[in-house]
Amino acid sequence: KAGVTQTPRYLIKTRGQQVTLSCSPISGHRSVSWYQQTPGQGLQFLFEYFSETQRNKGNFPGRFSGRQFSNSRSEMNVSTLELGDSALYLCASSNGQGRAYEQYFGPGTRLTVT
Amino acid sequence: SQKIEQNSEALNIQEGKTATLTCNYTNYSPAYLQWYRQDPGRGPVFLLLIRENEKEKRKERLKVTFDTTLKQSLFHITASQPADSATYLCALEVGNTGFQKLVFGTGTRLLVSP
């Protein structure tokens, strides 16, 4: 099975711009979660989508949003970029059913805001 | 406040020895705890999952313990190899069924020297 793919892998944006990141989950997985990873804060949960619905949300401002399509692919959008948004953005997929399911992570998108 | 603590300093050990990594948490009541491995520039990879009613779980050279009284998990790698060098993250699964999320520790970097 193909793994989780994320595009683009690297991105440089300017403060104030917006950005959209894309994630294709493992075939058959209906849950997609997004995380932000920085050296200072570590890996932090942004939100999870399951069957096109946001099922859970972390403590991030409304500038961070996402959506999931009927084929389970997901996009994450950050508007009005700030320097502090520079991070590795990781998406993870899982079957999302019940409890105790492991997450399969993609390689991440490295976002640099200048 | 809720916290997950892992040793922030790198753990240096010699090849062949057993590496023991610690994950302590406060003000969480996780039903499950997971361990992931992350190599530089890559997404985390799932290693092991342990339930709150399990004391110990093994997989090949890996062993995880989970003590809900001490609020601690220990992660052991026996007969360590240089290829085991990576950052290891513990993650607590918290929240109600269907709305759970993973909360990650900041990780411990393991360096295994030949």
A100–B contact, CB cutoff 8 A: yes
Interface of B with A (CB under 8 A): 31-32, 34, 36, 41-46, 49, 51, 89, 93, 95, 97-107
* Cβ–Cβ below 8 Å for B102 and A107: no
The upper half-sphere exposure of residue A23, i.e. CA atoms within 13 Å in the direction of its Cβ, equals 33
Instruction: Tally Cβ neighbours within 10 Å of residue A29.
Output: 20
Q: Which of A55, A100, A105 sits opposite B44 (nearest CB)?
A: A105
Q: How many angstroms from the chain centroid is the CA of residue B9?
A: 15
Question: Whole-angstrom Cα distance, residue A44 to residue B102?
Answer: 9
pLDDT at B94: 86
Question: Whole-angstrom Cα distance, residue B29 to residue B25?
Answer: 9
pLDDT digits (tens, 9 = 90+) for B50-96: 998 898 999 999 999 999 999 999 999 999 999 999 999 999 988 88
Distances (CA, A) of B14 to A58, B35, B38, B76, B83: 39, 22, 20, 14, 12
Decide if pLDDT at A99 tops 90: no
Q: Return the amino acid letter for B37.
A: R
Q: How many angstroms from the chain centroid is the CA of residue A18?
A: 15
Q: Work out how many CB contacts closer than 8 A connect A with B.
A: 57
* Cβ–Cβ below 8 Å for B51 and A100: yes
A55 CA to chain B: closest CA distance, Å? 6
| Mean pLDDT rounded to a whole number for chain B | 93
Q: Which residue of B has its CA nearest to A58?
A: B101
Decide if pLDDT at A24 tops 90: yes
| A4 interaction partners in chain B (CB closer than 8 Å) | 43
pLDDT at A104: 94
* Cβ–Cβ below 8 Å for A42 and B104: yes
Sign of CA pseudo-dihedral B1, B4, B5, B8 = negative
Contact residues, A window 38-97, toward B, CB-based 8 Å cutoff: 42-45, 48, 55-56, 58, 90, 92
More confident residue, B7 or B84: B84
Q: Please answer whether residues A110 and A100 qualify as being in contact, where contact means their C-beta atoms are separated by less than 8 angstroms.
A: no
B113 CA to chain A: closest CA distance, Å? 24
Q: Which residue has the tokens 């099975």?
A: A1
Average of per-residue pLDDT across B37-52: 94
Question: Whole-angstrom Cα distance, residue A30 to residue B48?
Answer: 21
pLDDT at A100: 63
- The DSSP bridge partners found for residue B89 are B36
Q: Cis ω on the peptide bond leading into residue A8 (within 30° of 0)?
A: yes
Q: How confident is the model at residue A101 (pLDDT cuts 50, 70, 90)?
A: confident
Average of per-residue pLDDT across B1-24: 93
pLDDT at B82: 97
pLDDT at B64: 98
Q: Which residue has the tokens 């790198």?
A: B10
pLDDT at B100: 81
Sign of CA pseudo-dihedral B7, A85, B86, A101 = positive
Q: How many helices (H) and strands (E) does chain A have?
A: 0, 11
pLDDT digits (tens, 9 = 90+) for A30-88: 999 999 999 888 999 999 999 999 988 999 999 999 999 999 999 999 999 999 999 99
